[in-house]
């Protein structure tokens, strides 16, 4: 049996606002909006869908699953994300590989590295 990642889903206090924010970040669009309680963002046919579900009580603390994003110019993307409301959490480097940990407007952490 082979499985494919079809969607990565985030819990959110405001699912519509967070879906819209992520759509901007990945160059995608909201492709489904179920009365604001569940939305889906697509950035293209060969990329996983991002889902956003409205919850009254989000999980406290650091999220257990996160996105690892890569860009041709890590610093340029980090600056763009910070200007659009992300928060920088940490910077790391290990064995010549560097990444920046950021948090989206609801505190979900994600990483940005540079494409090799």
65-116 has CATH 1.10.1040.10 classification: no
- For residue 3, the model assigns a pLDDT of 66
pLDDT: is 56 or 78 the higher one? 78
Cβ–Cβ under 8 Å, residues 21 and 30: no
Do the domains 1-56 and 65-116 sit in the same CATH topology, yes or no?
Answer: yes
Percent of the chain with pLDDT over 90: 76
CATH architecture assignment, domain 1-56: Roll (3.10)
Map residue 85 onto helix, strand or coil.
Answer: coil
* Spacing of C-alpha 46 from chain mean position: 17
Q: What is the pLDDT of residue 98?
A: 92
Which sequence spans correspond to the domains of the chain? Answer: 1-56, 65-116
What's the pLDDT tens digit per position in 14-68? 999 999 999 999 999 999 999 999 999 999 998 999 999 999 887 787 887 889 9
pLDDT of 106 > 70? The answer is yes
């Amino acid at each position: 049996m082979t499985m494919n990642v079809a969607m990565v889903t985030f819990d959110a206090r405001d699912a519509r606002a967070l879906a819209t924010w992520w759509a901007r970040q990945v160059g995608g669009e909201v492709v489904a909006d179920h009365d604001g309680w569940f939305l889906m963002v697509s950035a293209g046919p060969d990329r996983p869908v991002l889902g956003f579900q409205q919850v009254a009580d989000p999980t406290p603390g650091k999220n257990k699953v996160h996105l690892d994003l890569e860009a041709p110019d890590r610093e340029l993307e980090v600056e763009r994300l910070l200007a659009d409301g992300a928060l920088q959490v940490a910077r790391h480097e290990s064995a010549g590989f560097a990444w920046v940990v950021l948090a989206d407007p609801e505190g979900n952490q994600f990483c940005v590295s540079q494409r090799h």
